[in-house]
């Protein structure tokens, strides 16, 4: 149960807001939902103990509007803020304002967010912590600097936004001509997306695996890792299906990656729930790429195979409680897969929000659905296209896949296109079934002609 923070404002919306409300209630706390005018019919503001409208639909006037959110904190007398993912979850200025205002920010310190949120500084921290990194450069500002770094590293190279993520500000250059053309594009995209035009150059690993390690860290120096997640089914660098554990890496490599993640988390003084992400090549060499100092969309699959309630632990750690789970207590039981059900065309992945005309959510043993939608709900066009997360568990990967097929077949969601047909195709894909797929699977096989 919570002892020090009782009234928690959720600075988010959608399924993660619903998830937070549930954990807050189970721990004896009081939940406060904020919502934009576009979300006046959203279920999260109905489920919360208190709800307050903070502005018009555009994110910069609502969910990214720090003064409005702080005003909601003051009006409701909240003790703490739960940021979820996206929006202000990794905004160091927001975390710093909370600290100065003596409002508990449920996540790492602003200093840690500054360090890990900037990919260039996080990379330097990983080097100092003794964690393997991909060969790369410090941030570059001019074409001359970029060309020099790329020549030293060797083509192909990846241009990456220093302050970004989600594939924005990221371009692959195979030679000098491509680097010359793509550098200003990446810089403009980084400036537009993150307000920071800085980019750096990194060696491009061909056909990698994207594997991440979930960690928990309390305020007393205790850090544990909760196994791994395979996140290589991506379209345009954005995840769409995840599974845990990875069918590719060995237990020995998994342990080494977990230990590296813990080492990095300790070096940056991390507290809360976070994820250390790695690129893994065909020889199972792994390289640090970034740390996400927040809850991940795909956290349920880790909960399914470990039995650890990650969101509740976020709250308890922020409450000042000590981790009573040790590394030797963590065992991986079975296999879990998460299917992101997005309001998107299943072939082009173009968003197409609409009204939920018919809804039936699958159930049965080993099935979990995290969602905020209901029949008659009108999905606003202003926000992320995620409408539900279908999570399945099985004693083995094979059983989880078969259960996934059954659940996807049962899932009825009418009124707009969704990614359900895409997920059905992936579960029949030979590379996926063999576990040999890489981050290029979707773009090469399913988007090459789009």
* Catalytic residue selected from 168, 294, 340, 403: 294
* Cβ pair 203, 151 in contact under 8 A: no
* Cβ pair 446, 422 in contact under 8 A: yes
DSSP string covering 317-347: HHTTPPP---GGG----SEEEEEEEESB-TT
Residue 235 falls in the annotated catalytic set: no
- Using N-to-C axis directions, what is the helix angle for 299-306 and 310-318, rounded to 10°? 100
Q: Return the closest-CA partner of residue 150 out of 128, 181, 129, 121.
A: 181
Tell me how far CA of residue 155 lies from CA of 147, 173, 400, in angstroms. 10, 7, 39
- Class of residue 281 by CB neighbours under 10 A (exposed 0-12, middle 13-18, buried 19+): middle
How far apart are alpha carbons 227 and 213 in whole angstroms? 6
Q: How far is CA 115 from the centre of its chain?
A: 18
- Class of residue 26 by CB neighbours under 10 A (exposed 0-12, middle 13-18, buried 19+): middle
* Cβ pair 356, 415 in contact under 8 A: yes
How far apart are alpha carbons 153 and 41 in whole angstroms? 52
Pairing outcome for strands 386-394 and 367-371: antiparallel
Strand order in the sheet with 171-173: 171-173, 157-161, 199-203
Residues marked as catalytic:
294
């Amino acid at each position: 149960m919570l002892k020090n923070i009782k009234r928690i404002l959720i600075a988010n919306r959608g399924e993660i807001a619903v998830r937070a409300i549930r954990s807050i209630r189970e721990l004896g706390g009081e939940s406060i939902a904020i919502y934009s005018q576009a979300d006046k019919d959203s279920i999260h503001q109905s489920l919360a103990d208190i709800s307050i409208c903070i502005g018009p639909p555009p994110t910069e006037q609502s969910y990214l509007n720090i003064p409005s959110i702080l005003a909601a904190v003051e009006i409701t007398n909240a003790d703490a803020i739960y940021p979820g993912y996206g929006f202000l979850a990794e905004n160091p200025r927001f975390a710093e304002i909370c600290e100065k205002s003596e409002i508990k920010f449920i996540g790492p310190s602003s200093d840690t967010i500054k360090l890990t949120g900037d990919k260039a500084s996080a990379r330097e921290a990983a080097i100092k912590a003794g964690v393997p990194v991909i060969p790369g450069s410090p941030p570059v500002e001019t074409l001359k600097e970029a060309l020099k770094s790329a020549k030293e590293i060797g083509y192909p190279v990846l241009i990456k936004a220093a302050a970004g993520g989600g594939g924005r500000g990221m371009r692959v250059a195979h030679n000098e001509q491509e680097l010359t053309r793509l550098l200003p594009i990446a810089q403009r995209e980084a400036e537009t997306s993150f307000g920071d035009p800085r980019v750096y150059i990194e060696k491009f690993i061909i056909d990698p695996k994207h594997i991440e390690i979930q960690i928990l860290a309390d305020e007393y120096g205790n850090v544990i890792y909760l196994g791994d997640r395979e996140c290589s089914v991506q379209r345009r660098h954005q995840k769409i299906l995840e599974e845990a554990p990875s069918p590719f890496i060995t237990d020995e490599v998994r342990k080494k990656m977990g230990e590296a993640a813990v080492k990095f988390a300790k070096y940056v003084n991390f507290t809360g729930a976070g994820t250390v992400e790695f690129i893994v090549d065909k020889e199972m060499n792994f390289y640090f790429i970034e740390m996400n100092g927040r809850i991940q969309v795909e956290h349920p699959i880790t909960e399914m195979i470990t039995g650890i309630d990650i969101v509740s632990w976020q709250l308890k750690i922020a409450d000042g409680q000590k981790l009573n789970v040790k590394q030797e207590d963590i065992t991986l039981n079975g296999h879990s897969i998460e299917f992101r059900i997005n309001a998107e065309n299943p072939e082009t992945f173009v968003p197409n929000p609409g009204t939920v005309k018919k809804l039936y959510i699958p159930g049965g043993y080993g099935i979990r659905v995290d969602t905020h939608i209901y029949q008659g709900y009108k999905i606003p066009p202003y926000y992320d296209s995620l409408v539900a997360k279908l999570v399945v568990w099985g004693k083995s990967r094979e059983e989880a896949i078969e259960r996934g097929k059954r659940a996807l077949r049962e899932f009825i969601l009418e009124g707009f296109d969704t990614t359900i047909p895409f997920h059905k195709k992936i579960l029949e894909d030979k590379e996926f079934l063999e576990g040999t797929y890489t981050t290029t699977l979707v773009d090469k096989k399913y988007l090459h002609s789009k």
